[in-house]
Amino acid sequence: MNKIRYISPYFQMVRDNSTFFKAYYFHSIIDLNLTKLDSILKHGIMCKRDIERNHLITLYTHDARSFDSKNGSSCVSLTSYSDENSFNTLFESFPTHTLTSLSLMVSKDIKTSKVGESETFFDDEIFYHGSISKEYLQGIIYPEHLTNLLIKDVNPLPNDLECYTKKYLLNWLKWMEIYFGLTIASDKLLDYIDTFWDIASEYECPERWVEGIIRTQKEKYGEDLKDVLASILHTCWTLKLQKDNPTFQDVVINLNNNSLPIYEIKQKVLRRVS
């Protein structure tokens, strides 16, 4: 299971609706784990320091230096769209994250900085120092390729090697059990963690080849580590929503509970969902 990055059909629609996109900052949930959305809707977008101080359930355990996450101990990563945006996924976080993931739309009535806790890889990445109160959240937005995906088909991890360690994934499992109030069998997950790292050991720089490792694992075993995690989440959300085969949008609408407007990025139009 790889992250969908075929996003060029959205570019013209974004340009046609530039006034809308310029009006907000965006904070993306790049691993698409919707338990994070629930936390953000309840507490705001919190930096790691404040999450720890408030003893909240969290998966925000990325190192501030890692490629796919710049949230640090005392700041939150954001992006914005402007006329200078060239939709370059190597150097711009708006196309890389906002057009592939679910994002929170954040009011521009906050003070941001180009300087975070480490050097950013993206020309359009900015930072808010501290945590962003939920009063500044003005919407939820995601691309249409996520809308009708079953939860078992939603990519559950970013391509950050730190997130594939046994330590991280056992922490992931613990927090999922707490959040959903379930006991989740771990044997299959542990087996796939081990085979993932067996394959990774064959790479000189495995941090650069996470997608390749995942592809190899799927070719050898019929499933990959992301498939196993997505299957766990599918079962958990099915039980929580009491709905067979919940889709990505089913979960978002349920968690949002009409608190924020929801928008869908389509190829030709920007659609208001609720």
What distance in Å separates the CA atoms of residue 176 and residue 152, rounded to the nearest whole number? 15
Query: What would you report as the CA-atom Rg of the chain, rounded to the nearest whole angstrom?
Result: 18
Q: What is the pLDDT along the chain (274 residues), one digit of tens a residue?
A: 655 567 999 999 999 999 999 999 999 998 888 999 999 999 999 888 888 888 777 665 443 333 334 456 789 999 999 999 999 988 999 999 999 999 999 999 999 998 766 667 799 999 999 999 999 999 999 999 999 999 999 988 888 898 899 998 998 999 899 999 999 999 999 999 999 999 999 999 998 899 999 999 999 999 999 999 999 999 999 999 999 999 999 999 999 999 999 999 999 999 999 9
Answering whether pTM is above 0.85, one says yes
Q: Please spell the DSSP secondary structure of 68-114, one letter per residue.
A: T----SSEEEEEE--TT----TTT-HIIIIITTSEEEEE-S-S--BS
Instruction: Give the closest residue to 253 by CA, choosing from 182, 147, 153.
Output: 147
Which residues are bridge partners to 247 per DSSP?
150
Residue 170 CB contacts under 8 Å (≥ 6 apart), including other chains: 186
Instruction: Give the closest residue to 140 by CA, choosing from 213, 32, 48.
Output: 32
- For the chain, the domains span 8-149+250-272, 153-246
Q: E strand or H helix at 143, and its extent?
A: strand 137-143
Q: What are the counts of helices (DSSP H) followed by strands (DSSP E) for the chain? A: 11, 7
